[in-house]
Chain A
Amino acid sequence: MRVLLVGTGRILYYLARQFSRKKILVTIVTPYATEARELSRRTASSVLEGDGTDPRVLEEAGAYQADALLSLMPNDEDNLVVCQIANRVYRVPRTIALVNDPENEEIFHQLNVSVAISATRILSILLEEQAGFEEISRIVSLAEGTVSVSEVILREDGPAAGSTIESLELPAEALIGGIIRKGTVLIPKGGTRLEAEDRLILVATEASLEPALRILTGEPAA
């Protein structure tokens, strides 16, 4: 597998090191001469000093042979154009962009960047979860964030402990997919009675998550 890394900063070095351990061939394109020298001294990657938004520089870096490209520049407009040039001109099958402004994530998808990663958004989700209710933790977001899987721990004094699932009247688009009770997994049925300390795996759409959490814990989502 061949990967092109375009950008600046220490993250290039760490990624190149990580990839080369996995036997992935890495070529780095970076705009600054000092950084290019440093990277070629410290990594096994080929390093090219140049502007990654220039199609000829990408071509020289081997874009025609690349299986994936990661663009890690500090400006969103540069990452977008690098990914678009790589995809349209050199047919790089997978282009991944760092999105600095989380509001651009959706825009990047609309403009055909395969994956747009917003560090700002990931960090703010982590922060909100830490600061929020400890009995609720979001495990994963699916389908572009419209569906989430959360783990909910029932407190003894919570509204759901002692009730059967069918009596809770959860929203139609919220589903308890599993119950972890004292280390064993129970498959929930309508008549299953919930107990304090149960860990519920809750699958819910964005709209039904908050009402479902209120029913299970008595608290609105963070």
Chain B
Amino acid sequence: MSGSGFLGNIVIVGCGRLGSSLANRLSQAGSRVVIIDRSRSSFSLLEPGFSGFRVTGDAAERNVLVEASIQEADCLIAATEKDTLNLMVAQVARHVFSVPKVLARVYDPKRETVFLDAGIEIVSPTRLMVDTFLAAVRARQESA
């Protein structure tokens, strides 16, 4: 969806490098973004042009998700540094609040398989990098 506008309500959990980049891009593209982080200082990663909302709190708390208007969300992205937190928030979004589209970052591929049928989409940075590196290695072998 890069470039083109995704007009909708998006909740992003975790304002680290990944969460803040997504928030900046989606906000620019015209989405209504709410970003949640435990520490207020993380919001400094947001660009001045970010027009969304910031919620300080622990996304494992139901109230914090409600404060971030999860009931109106079209999409939730769980992008904290912690696999278990992402998995919990994603499942709560999907099964308790019926958010239509839910994505979670999960670093450890061993955990990924357990949650493939949980109605959430899992993005594994480890797997993506492995695939990218292998493709690059193969391309080099083929050209040699």
Q: A101-B61, A107-B92, A110-B95 in contact; A77/B110 too (CB < 8 A)?
A: no
B contact face: mostly helix, strand, loop, or mixed: helix
Q: Is B69 interfacial (CB-CB < 8 Å)? A: no
- A206 is an interface residue with CB less than 8 A from chain B: no
- In the bound complex, what is the Cα–Cα distance between A155 and B60 (angstroms)? 46
Q: How far is the CA of A75 from the CA of B84 in the complex (A)?
A: 10
| Least CB distance, B84 to chain A, in whole angstroms | 4
> Do B84 and A53 touch (CB < 8 A)?
yes
Once A107-B62, A111-B91 are accepted as A-B contacts, the answer to whether A55 and B110 lie under 8 Å apart by CB is yes
Residues of chain A at interface, number, CB under 8 A: 20
Asked if B111 and A103 sit within 8 Å, CB to CB, the answer is no
- In the complex, which residues of chain A have a beta carbon less than 8 angstroms from the beta carbon of B60? 75-77, 101, 104
22 contacts between A and B (CB under 8 A): A54-B108, A55-B114, A75-B85, A77-B84, A77-B87, A77-B88, A80-B87, A80-B88, A80-B91, A81-B83, A81-B84, A81-B87, A84-B115, A89-B114, A101-B62, A103-B61, A103-B62, A103-B63, A104-B60, A107-B62, A111-B92, A111-B95
Binding site for A on B (CB under 8 A): 60-63, 82-85, 87-89, 91-92, 95-96, 108, 110-111, 114-115
